[in-house]
Amino acid sequence: MKERIISERFVDSSIDTPYSLMLDDTAIADMYLICCGAYSPLTGFLKQTEYSSVLKNMRLLSGAVWSIPIVLPVSMQDISVIPTGAYVKLIHNSIEYGYMLLEEYYQPDKKQEAIEVYLTEDPAHPGVKKMMSRGDVYAAGPVWMTKRPPFLFPEETFTPNETRAFFQKKGWRTVVGFQTRNPIHRAHEYIQKSAMETVDGLFIQPLVGETKNDDVPASIRMESYRELLKHYYPSERVLLGTFSASMRYAGPKEAVQHALVRKNYGCTHFIVGRDHAGVGNYYGTYDAQKIFSTFTIEELGIVPMFFDHSFYCRKCGQMASIKTCPHSEMDRMILSGTMVRKMLRNGTRPPEEFTRGEVADILIRGLKGSEDIGQ
C-alpha cells in the first residue's frame, strides 16, 4: 500500500478581506478535518466537478476513492455578493476560524444527492433531514485555518500527524481503527479484541461531533470508554482519540469514508461491523461491508475487517458470533435497544453478558431522567 502524505493547513494570521460566510456545526467540523489532514487529499470544499464525481463514482477526479461529498452550504443571498476569486473569512458562532478562496459556487440537486449518498430521499432520515435544512448553494474552494475549534476533549484530540507519530513511537506497524457513536458493549469489545489478536495496536476513535438528539451524549460516552479501557484493555496496546466530525448516518458510504479517514490517522486496518453508520431500516445489515467489494485494498489503502453480529452464548459460555456459535437463538443473550434503554432509565444494570457493570453504572448515572437514548 502506498503511504499517503498528510499535510496540515493551519496558518498564523488571517487575510484582509471584506467578505465572510457563516458556518454551521457540521461545516466547522469539516473545515477542521480538512485542515488537519483527516480528510486528505481534500484541501477545501468540493467544486462542482469533484462533487459530481464523488456522487456518481465514489471517486475524486484524480481517481482517489472518496464516498461522501464534503461541501459548504450557504444561502444565495450571502454568496451572491461575493465575487469568485475573492478570499472569504469563515465564521462560526461569531468567531473567525480561517478563510477560503472562493473558486466557485453552484446549486446542487439535493434530492439526487440524498439518493446517491443516503440511498433514500425520505425526509425522516436524519442525514437527509439535516442536508435539506442547510443552505441551497455550495461554496467551493481551498480553506486555511487560523484558529482551531474548542475541543470538548482536548487531551484526547489528535491530528493525523500526531497519531502517526504515536504509532511509530510505540512500534506499531499494524493498527486497527474502530469507529463508534455508541457506548462500547461486550459485543463491541469482543470484535475489537478479536482484531487485536492480529495487529499491534487498537485505535478507538469515537465520533464526538453532532449526532441525533437520542444518541448518547459524547461526554457520557467518553467517560464510559475511559473506564472500560482502564479495567479491561492492555493500556500499552490501545489509544483513545476523538473524531470531531458530525454524524451523517449514511450507512455504506459513510463506512467507506470512516475507513479512509482512519487510513489518514495511520491505521492499517479498520473494523466494519454490522449496520455500520446505519440508522433505522434504511440499509441492509451487512450493506456497509458489501460496498467495500467495489474497491481493491490498494485503492483504499487500508484493510477492512468484517465482523458478524456478536453476542454472549450461554451454552458456549463466552462471547461468540454466528460464525463460531452452533447454538440456537434461545441460547444467545441478545437484548433489543428498547429493552436496554428501559433498563437504564429505570436504573437497572443490563446483564454483565451484555455490558460491563462499570459502563452500565456510568450510563445510568449520566442518563438519569432522560426520555430516550440511542443504542
* 282-331 residue pLDDT tens: 999 999 999 999 999 999 999 999 999 899 999 999 999 999 999 999 99
pLDDT of residue 5: 55
Task: Judge if 31 and 68 occupy the same domain.
Answer: yes
Query: By 3-state DSSP, what share of the chain in percent is helix, strand and coil, each rounded to 5?
Result: 35, 20, 45
Task: Judge if 294 and 184 occupy the same domain.
Answer: yes
Which residue among the candidates 148, 182, 237, 349 is catalytic per the annotation? 182
Q: Where are the alpha helices (DSSP H) in the chain?
A: 25-36, 48-57, 76-79, 110-118, 126-133, 160-170, 186-196, 218-232, 252-264, 287-290, 297-300, 337-345, 357-366
- Work out the average pLDDT over 55-78: 98
Q: In whole angstroms, what separates CA 73 from the centre of its chain? A: 20
Q: What are phi and psi of 327, to 5 degrees?
A: -90, 170
How much of the chain, in percent, has pLDDT values that exceed 70?
97
Task: Judge if 171 and 299 occupy the same domain.
Answer: yes
Q: Is 182 a catalytic residue?
A: yes
More confident residue, 171 or 338: 171
Residue 1 has pLDDT above 70, yes or no: no
Confirm whether 12 is domain-assigned: no
Q: Is 173 a catalytic residue?
A: no
Which residue among the candidates 9, 181, 262, 274 is catalytic per the annotation? 181
CATH number at residue 333: 3.40.50.620
Task: Judge if 88 and 176 occupy the same domain.
Answer: no
Residue 291 cell numbers, joined: 460496498
d(CA 91, CA 24): 9
User: Which residues in 15-39 are b (16+ Cβ under 10 Å) and which e?
Assistant: eeeebebbbbebbbbbbbbbbbbbb
pTM of the model: 0.94
pLDDT of residue 185: 94
- Work out the average pLDDT over 152-172: 97
Overall number of domains in the chain: 2
Task: Judge if 330 and 238 occupy the same domain.
Answer: yes
Task: Judge if 227 and 337 occupy the same domain.
Answer: yes
Task: Judge if 220 and 192 occupy the same domain.
Answer: yes
d(CA 285, CA 139): 35
Confirm whether 200 is domain-assigned: yes
Which residues contact residue 113 at a Cβ distance below 8 angstroms, ignoring those fewer than 6 apart?
A: 55, 69, 131
How much of the chain, in percent, has pLDDT values that exceed 90?
89
